[in-house]
Structure 1
Amino acid sequence: MPATPARRYGVVGTGARAQLYISALAGEFADVAELMAWCEPNPARMDHADRLLASVRPSATPPARYSPDDLERMIAERRLAAVVITSPDHTHADLAVRALLAGADVVLEKPLSTSVAGCRAIVAAVEQTGRSLVLTFNYRYAPRNAALKEVLASGEIGDITSVHFEWTLDTAHGADYFRRWHRDKDRSAGLAVHKASHHFDLVNWWLGEAPEWVFASGGLRFYGADNARARGLGERPERGTVDPPSTDPFALDLRTDPVLRSLYWEAERHDGYLRDRDVFGPGITIEDNVSALVGYGSGAVLSYSLNAHSPCEGYRVAVNGTGGRAELAVVERAAVLPGPDGRIVLDASAGSDGAGARLTVQRHWERARAVPIPGGAGGHGGADALLLAEVFRGAAADPLGRQAGYRDGLASVAVGLAANMSMRTGTPVRIAELGLPLAR
């Protein structure tokens, strides 16, 4: 039989998020996917994408270049079957809707959108066109999270009554959200949407339910100018790339990392975007601490917390049921310490950066047992490789229902949007009030 022709793809947004997909399209999946075009407003970032493509596949022809204003023309001229959208969050709805209406399927980085209006527009475009929109919720594919899903689905701990979920971001990763465009809530909708949409999706998936109400609280309690003044940090430079180089552990010098230098330091002359803003500077409008209660139709309640200034990074999930309890503890990165020059480095004494995961189950009146977690190589605990295979080769047998569609993205972002509303008003929010069609 003749080989199936490769699907033709374009990548919309060629910043840091796109690197995973470019490498995948040019490498492991080049037999089923053909990378035809970049859609990006900054020429220096397209230059970087060309270099990355050539490093993975030296024989590849550089993709054609388009601006976001020419998205529809790109899809038509290059006869694209699909586009991968990895642009900033506030652009997702506009770009996804336009791509769908222009006749392309969409692979979309989370979150679905940063607004209720954007979510509604995407739903309308999917239903009008009948085209596919896949959300790349890679955490569903992590073996540790799949192992917990299997425990819950087996009924071993009975009907679920409550979930406690704590996520900590360390002062290397967490601080980064306060340097970049994410610090502006109008562009990211805050960590309750940008970051926590991963976490809310996991809980929705683990429970197999859509959320019904949210009551949330949060604030900017560590980063930002007011907190810097309260702790007497004194005058600070606007950005981390300064001369002489800063020894501040929170300073990010774009010149010291070849990828950051290429993507941002050498690109800022084209658009003025500063990737290395001071985390204790003015203009930060997002929260660094978020807590939320989320209710489900079954009566189960999630208690959730996110902290973006922890000395270590990872998460803990405890699920209580009528028959027992399951606990998942994950260390993604151990404590970090300042290096000899004052910059943050991993604590070498932790060994393999302290990462690891443990899943235990204890039924009533029984001994706790450890649940084996399969190993996984690559990013996000082995999740990225599995996700990419499903995105570009198609879903294999999937008894856990890991591939996420637009309604899964809708359910996760609805929790974050409701949490933002609750933080503004100080009152609980029923998700039905948002007018989003969450029914499955």
Structure 2
Amino acid sequence: MQTDQITRYAIVGFGGRVSMFLDPIVRDFPARAQVVAACDKSFKAIEYHLNRVRSAYDAAVEPRLYRDDEFDRMLAECEPDAVVVCSPDHTHERYITRALAAGCDVITEKPMVTTAESCRKVLEASAAAKGRLRVAFNYRWSTGTTRVKEIIRDGAIGDIKHVNLEYFLDTNHGADYFRRWHSEKACSGGLIIHKATHHFDLVNWWIDGIPEDVFGMGSLAYYGRENAIRRGDGQWTGYDRYTGKAAADDPYKMDLSKDDALRGIYLNAEAETGYIRDRNVFRAGIDIEDTMSVLVRYRGGQQLNYSLVAYAPYEGYRVSFTGDRGRLEYEELHRSHIITGQSDKELDAQQKMAGRNITIRVTPHFKKQQVIHVEPEAGAHGGGDPRMQAAIFDSRLARDPLGRDAGVEQGAASIMVGVAANTSFASGAPVKISGLCAIKPGAIRLGELL
């Protein structure tokens, strides 16, 4: 349905992810969307991002500013139509439920929440609300993943029976999770929730299935002080953070003072927030896993074999689908091998090429294999970000025929695999998702969920 009405947005959370939402509102949809309120623990972080978009897009952006403990006052005073939640993961539930109770629509960054209790609360709040909750699963919208969905939907390999997905984070991007708040399970749920929610959602969406039974194993095998010392890398454990001279030769170093964004969002705000963005990845006290294996059985009988490591020499993922009419294999290489001493120019060229390595192989029973090389479209995440942003912020667009727009129940179906896996990590036993959180009992297909 077309409308010329301007949607008034409040945004909570002005860290690294806010640009996913703030920038398209200001740059691409000024006639349809307006930021009327900005909320964060740090006013310095808010001002950094507001000044950035004002300069980049020559835009007049003047929202009212609120601290994170003034969220309810913000809702009452600004009366936004919708709230964007991109704060740390463990805070999502409090903002989602209060925004829904105030009559707002909500767009939340993934993961929707991090625990079974918070998932139940969000489902209950959504059921009682007039507003709609959407989860920003940008991976669904990329060129390659969309092509996989179309091939499976069209029946090229029959009904899917088994999926194998291995994801590997490298010692650049993967290590970064262990510097930040993500390295505390109470804040992120661990990578099995914060990162793997993308992957579980993709599989759910690709095969149109709802997960039910989960068994998992996880460990901290690479990062952390004890692992570094055991491996003979104890020389990298002698300082708490990377900014400064002590870590000058450390291959894992990150100097916040040398990057405009990191300095503006985090370093300049340390006195205000107490948050240290560049903690040593080989420190004591990390309580999330860097090595994970998970088995999942779906309500429709399909099986998923999943693994994630966060210290590979390169980054990307491979997924294979075996159906009753053949097999489909999909591979994306995101980052290339990081080589000590390699120049920035060489690394940049290598990583740009790596981002183009997207291949689909379709092998039907008793027929020739078809190899498809996918050319990613412009925009982050293989063109997925601008597509998703348009779906969120442009009300003129028609309903997506591939069902890429995820609601509250589909968000729950993704994160509850990670929640059940965490439970299984601790107990050593299989876990039923329905025993932790009821997600539309009786439904078999993901498309039956909101």
* Superposed CA offset, 1:408-433 (max 9, x none): 11000010000000110111111111
- Does the 8 A contact of 1:292 with 1:303 survive in 2? yes
Structure 1 residues 72-87: aligned runs within 5 Å? 72-87=72-87
1:386 has 2:387 as partner: yes
Go from structure 1 to structure 2 and tell me whether the alpha carbon gap of 1:300 and 1:56 turns closer, same or farther (over 3 Å shift).
Answer: same
| Alignment partner, residue 421 of structure 1 | 423
| Alignment partner, residue 33 of structure 1 | 33
Q: Secondary structure at the match of 1:387?
A: helix
1:230 has 2:227 as partner: no
CA distance in 2, matches of 1:26, 1:338: 40
Residue 349 of structure 1, CA deviation: 6.3
- Does the 8 A contact of 2:119 with 2:437 survive in 1? no
Q: Secondary structure at the match of 2:245?
A: coil
CA distance in 1, matches of 2:127, 2:399: 25
Unaligned runs of 5+ in 2: 444-448
| Alignment partner, residue 280 of structure 1 | 282
CA distance in 2, matches of 1:290, 1:345: 34
| Alignment partner, residue 359 of structure 2 | 358
Q: Secondary structure at the match of 1:203?
A: helix
Go from structure 1 to structure 2 and tell me whether the alpha carbon gap of 1:370 and 1:353 turns closer, same or farther (over 3 Å shift).
Answer: closer
Structure 1 residues 190-201: aligned runs within 5 Å? 190-201=190-201
Counterpart code for 1:291: S
- Does the 8 A contact of 1:23 with 1:52 survive in 2? no
Residue 436 of structure 1, CA deviation: 2.5
- Does the 8 A contact of 1:337 with 1:345 survive in 2? no
| Alignment partner, residue 11 of structure 1 | 11
1:176 has 2:176 as partner: yes
CA distance in 2, matches of 1:272, 1:331: 36
- Does the 8 A contact of 2:214 with 2:432 survive in 1? yes
Go from structure 1 to structure 2 and tell me whether the alpha carbon gap of 1:161 and 1:346 turns closer, same or farther (over 3 Å shift).
Answer: farther
Q: Secondary structure at the match of 2:8?
A: strand
Residue 213 of structure 1, CA deviation: 0.4
Go from structure 1 to structure 2 and tell me whether the alpha carbon gap of 1:3 and 1:347 turns closer, same or farther (over 3 Å shift).
Answer: closer
Residue 15 of structure 1, CA deviation: 0.7
- Does the 8 A contact of 1:26 with 1:56 survive in 2? no
| Alignment partner, residue 134 of structure 1 | 134
Counterpart code for 2:300: S
Go from structure 1 to structure 2 and tell me whether the alpha carbon gap of 1:216 and 1:414 turns closer, same or farther (over 3 Å shift).
Answer: same
- Does the 8 A contact of 2:247 with 2:253 survive in 1? no
- Does the 8 A contact of 1:18 with 1:86 survive in 2? yes
Unaligned runs of 5+ in 1: none
* Superposed CA offset, 1:212-270 (max 9, x none): 10110110000001101102222421000012551211111111111001111111111
- Does the 8 A contact of 1:422 with 1:429 survive in 2? yes
Residue 351 of structure 1, CA deviation: 6.3
- Does the 8 A contact of 1:171 with 1:310 survive in 2? yes
Residue 374 of structure 1, CA deviation: 5.4
| Alignment partner, residue 373 of structure 1 | 374
Aligned match for 2:254, one of 239, 252, 255: 252
1:321 has 2:342 as partner: no
CA-based RMSD of the aligned residues comes to 1.8
| Alignment partner, residue 98 of structure 1 | 98
Residue 352 of structure 1, CA deviation: 2.2
Q: Secondary structure at the match of 2:423?
A: helix
CA distance in 1, matches of 2:198, 2:351: 27
- Does the 8 A contact of 2:358 with 2:375 survive in 1? no
Residue 57 of structure 1, CA deviation: 3.6
- Does the 8 A contact of 1:36 with 1:78 survive in 2? yes
Q: Secondary structure at the match of 1:415?
A: helix
Residue 3 of structure 1, CA deviation: 7.2
Residue 348 of structure 1, CA deviation: 5.1
Residue 137 of structure 1, CA deviation: 0.1
Go from structure 1 to structure 2 and tell me whether the alpha carbon gap of 1:372 and 1:249 turns closer, same or farther (over 3 Å shift).
Answer: closer
- Does the 8 A contact of 1:339 with 1:345 survive in 2? no
CA distance in 2, matches of 1:81, 1:56: 26
Residue 340 of structure 1, CA deviation: 6.5
TM-score, normalised to structure 1, is 0.96
CA distance in 2, matches of 1:57, 1:352: 26
Residue 339 of structure 1, CA deviation: 3.7
Identity rate, percent: 41
- Does the 8 A contact of 1:335 with 1:346 survive in 2? no
Counterpart code for 2:359: R
- Does the 8 A contact of 1:336 with 1:345 survive in 2? no
1:333 has 2:335 as partner: yes
Q: Secondary structure at the match of 1:239?
A: coil
1:270 has 2:265 as partner: no
Residue 370 of structure 1, CA deviation: 2.0
